[in-house]
Amino acid sequence: MNDAYSQFLAWERTSSDNLLVKKTYVKIAGDLVAGVLLSQLVYWNMPDKYGNTKLRVTKDGELWLAKKREDWWDECCITPTQFDRASKQLEELGLIEKKIFKFDGVPTVHIRVNFDKLLEEVTRLQEEAEKEIQERKAELTKHTPILRKDENGFSGPILRKDENGFSGNMKMDFKEMGKSITDTTTEITTEITKENICASDLAELFKPKAKKQEKKKEVIPLSVVEKDRFEEFWRLYPKKKAKLDCMRAWKSLNPDEQLFEEIMAGLKRAISSKEWKEQDGKFIPYPATWLRKGRWLDEYEEAEEEVDRWKVWEERSKRELQNMLKGAEK
């Protein structure tokens, strides 16, 4: 072992220059950079040791984080370009909302985490992890020896069950077998859950304070005309996610007949666009985000239509035949 390596090990063991990111955030965000950004946004929304919020900006009745795109490098090594891409990705997933407000007199991007959506995704991953635990337990149980019970408890020969029924005898100490099963199950559970946030813990952290009454199920009041127009929009929009949030955005716009026609025309252009058709619609934003950002005004690149090669070949053959006949007549 040379001196350079020894010095490096000494630095590595004593350095606290760490960037801790839960793998759950990376899985939810879809890639590492977006996961790191999401993790830092959650950090800023976590209360300090006294239970107070770290956020200082309140707009529209919500707490926002104000930070310039250039400042993320010092905090978590994300470049301005990476921030632009990652924040757009999180916004389109419905995990954050971005708005520009003045901060110290300068227009600055403000970010709010959508904890309803984040908790929904955390819960989904938690349920998937639990399902995997149960499947692996079932697989383990399928290959576990079956004890024969007598009047004194479990003892005696143990039969192993195969696809043809019970066959074969073997001896095993019951306590040892029970310990083996418990240890294996614990190992499986720990392996799967150690990288995931407990959904109940996250819900506990962000639930309303005890003195406040629990929110009733929200109902968005829409007139008959508004509801009919919204339902027509909703039926056409490909990504049917967060309908209640979409209704809020629709109510806020309150489109008249002219604006409604413009929105629907823009939606039809978007649906036939190259961007929305790529990777099975992966880049289609949530409908509420699309409405709030006025995306029906965007210019979309139309997807290339599939060419019927047989028709092209047939037309070309006809032209070549006609040219040959004309040449023969001459």
- What percentage of the chain has pLDDT greater than the value 70? 70
DSSP, collapsed to helix, strand or coil, labels residue 327 as: helix
| Mean pLDDT across the chain | 78
Give the DSSP letter of residue 151: T
Task: Write b or e for each residue in 247-274: b if 16 or more Cβ atoms lie within 10 A of its Cβ, otherwise e.
Answer: bbbbeebebeeeebeebbebbebbbebe
Query: According to the model, what pLDDT value does residue 169 have?
Result: 47
SS3 for 180? helix
pLDDT (mean) for 198-223: 62
The pLDDT of residue 137: 83
Give every CB contact of residue 315 below 8 A, 6+ residues apart in sequence: none
Which residues lie closer than 8 Å to 237 by C-beta, 6 or more apart?
267, 287, 290
Helix (H) or strand (E) holding 102: strand 96-103
- Cβ-Cβ contacts under 8 Å for 234 (sequence gap 6 or more): 240, 243, 246, 287
Is the pLDDT confidence value at 171 over 50? no
Tokens 């073997």 belong to: 170
Extract the tokens encoding 89: 């990705």
Q: Which of 109, 83, 80 is nearest to 97 (CA)?
A: 109
Among 24-38, 78-92, 154-168, which stretch is predicted with the lowest mean pLDDT?
154-168
Tokens 């949030």, residue located = 245
Is residue 25 exposed (0-12), middle (13-18) or buried (19+ Cβ within 10 Å)?
buried
Pairing state of beta strands 165-170 and 153-162? antiparallel
Average pLDDT rounded to a whole number, residues 289-302: 88
Instruction: Report yes or no: 68 and 27 within 8 Å, Cβ to Cβ.
Output: no
Residue 260, helix vs strand vs coil: helix
